[in-house]
Amino acid sequence: MKTYWVYIVRCADESFYVGVSSEIDRRIAEHVLGTSRTAYTFTRRPVTLVYSQAFSNVDDAIAAEKQLKGWSRAKKHALICGDWDAIRRLAKSARTPT
């Protein structure tokens, strides 16, 4: 069975990049080495893997990637730290109309 990974890397400028790959070690190495000049992470190296989650279904992995890309920086940070209370709080504040 193939495994698909959703991952977050922290860039040198403290931004986060969210991606999905079936070969996470190779993909992270590409980010670290800067193999693509057009990649978001190329000018923001070095990068560090700070979060990954495995999926057995590619559609589930892609859905999770899209969801994470829509999250605020604070919510991504809470996920990286495993702070589920903060994630719930931030989710509620996002739903509250201003």
Domain residues for 56?
Answer: 4-71
pLDDT at res. 74? 97
97 falls within a domain? no
Instruction: Please report whether residue 65 resides in a domain.
Output: yes
Strands (E), 1-98: 4-10, 16-21, 48-55
Q: What is the pLDDT along the chain (98 residues), one digit of tens a residue?
A: 999 999 999 999 999 999 999 999 999 999 999 999 999 999 999 999 999 999 999 999 999 999 999 999 999 999 999 999 999 999 987 676 65
**Residue 20 falls inside a structural domain:** yes
How many Cβ atoms are within 10 Å of 11's Cβ, its own excluded? 18
Contact of 5 with 24, CB cutoff 8 Å: yes
Domain annotation covers residue 25: yes
| Structure tokens, 57 | 């279904």
Q: Which position has the token pair 């495994």?
A: 3
Residue partners of 60: CB distance under 8 A and separation at least 6: 4
- Domain holding 32: CATH number? 3.40.1440.10
pTM equals 0.92
Q: Note the residue count of the chain.
A: 98
